[in-house]
Amino acid sequence: METLRARRWPIDELLISQELPADQQQLLCDTARELQIPFQQTSAERLRQLSGRSDTQGLLARMQEYPLEKLPSAADLVQILQQAVSHPSATPPLYVCLDRIQDPHNFGAILRNCDAVRAAGIIIGRQQQAAVTPHVARASSGAVNHLRIIQAAELTTALRQFSAAGFRIVAASEKATCDLWNTSLHVPAVLVIGTEATGIAADLLECCDLQVRIPMQGQVGSLNAAVAAGILMFECRRQSAAWLSQITENDTHG
């Protein structure tokens, strides 16, 4: 239903369970007609057979390919940064670059975090990267319908382009010497998250201005990629909020 409301991810066909309450069936049929989506009303058993799942929630959709965006041009990135600089009271743009996140559940969970912090965009590569699928959409709790997911032919090219525009490129690495809590992250930035298997690729690390780690107090040396990404993103936003509060206070007393 979230996908229907968002009207972003194209739907080829909608199957509606006849066992749904009549008012829900009517709402779905009316919405499908409004959006000119072909639909059928069928049995719940048919939905389970087609999906291979028992929890279809009475609705099944045949989707087109998810509409990934192209990498913004150098001029567009400069404009985005100039707008941030000219509006110092606004939350600075935060992009998240994912290096070969292959697990659909992790990918979806990271996207959910990105929506929670209002990330300006998510950058993914073409190689060894999980695609945006219904599984990812479910793991993201529908966040895929509200995010700008950008696919770059080469992540190194993308990071260099953001860096040239003035964004700070920050790598999350358990091997970093800088602690997250002692790092300034309230500026326009691109946060790079690597695959759990091998971390961030060496050529991407060379594009980064800074590497940071999450201080660990237990016996395990690292966190799940989605959990780590969430901590890093919310720390960026916490610092931004503190910085903006300080600016406001200085303006008030100045």
Q: What does the pLDDT read at residue 254?
A: 57
Pairwise CA distance, residues 183 & 39, whole Å: 52
Highest mean pLDDT among 52-61, 82-91, 111-120: 111-120
Tell me which residue of 81, 39, 30, 90 sits closest to 60, measured CA to CA. Answer: 39
24 and 148 share one domain = no
In the predicted structure, residue 55 carries a pLDDT above the cut 80: no
Structural domain tally of the chain?
2
pLDDT digit string, tens, across residues 79-99: 988 888 787 777 899 999 999
Q: What does the pLDDT read at residue 212?
A: 94
In the predicted structure, residue 192 carries a pLDDT above the cut 90: yes
Tokens for 28, please give them. 């779905």
Q: What does the pLDDT read at residue 41?
A: 93
Pairwise CA distance, residues 209 & 163, whole Å: 9
47 and 73 share one domain = no
Average pLDDT over residues 156-162: 96
Which of the residue ranges 26-35, 135-144, 244-253 would you say has the lowest mean pLDDT? Answer: 244-253
35 and 129 share one domain = no
Tell me which residue of 29, 93, 21 sits closest to 240, measured CA to CA. Answer: 93
115 and 212 share one domain = yes
76 and 51 share one domain = no
- Give the side-chain half-sphere CA count within 13 A for 29: 12
Per the structure, the complete domain to which residue 7 belongs is given by: 2-63
55 and 108 share one domain = no
Considering only residues 248 and 150, tell me which one the structure prediction assigns the higher pLDDT: 150
55's CB contacts (< 8 A; 6+ apart) are none
91 and 8 share one domain = no
Average pLDDT over residues 202-226: 89
In the predicted structure, residue 250 carries a pLDDT above the cut 80: no
53 and 142 share one domain = no
87 and 37 share one domain = no
37 and 78 share one domain = no
135 and 185 share one domain = yes
Among residues 63, 81, 113, which one ends one of the domains?
63
Pairwise CA distance, residues 228 & 216, whole Å: 11
In the predicted structure, residue 251 carries a pLDDT above the cut 70: no
Backbone φ/ψ region at 42: left (φ over 0), alpha (ψ -120 to 50), beta: beta
Tokens 């279809």 map to which residue?
56
Do the beta carbons of residue 17 and residue 47 sit within 8 Å? yes
Pairwise CA distance, residues 200 & 253, whole Å: 44
Q: What does the pLDDT read at residue 248?
A: 65
The domain that holds 42 is classified in CATH as 3.30.1330.30
- CA 62 from centroid of its chain's CA atoms: 23
Pairwise CA distance, residues 37 & 11, whole Å: 7
Average pLDDT over residues 126-130: 92
Fill in the amino acid letter for 162.
F
Tokens for 115, please give them. 């929506």
Please, where are the H alpha helices in 97-224? Answer: 104-116, 134-139, 155-165, 202-205
Pairwise CA distance, residues 112 & 138, whole Å: 10
Pairwise CA distance, residues 122 & 69, whole Å: 10
Q: What does the pLDDT read at residue 76?
A: 92
Band of residue 245 on the pLDDT scale cut at 50, 70, 90:
confident
The domain that holds 222 is classified in CATH as 3.40.1280.10
45 and 78 share one domain = no
Considering only residues 159 and 8, tell me which one the structure prediction assigns the higher pLDDT: 159
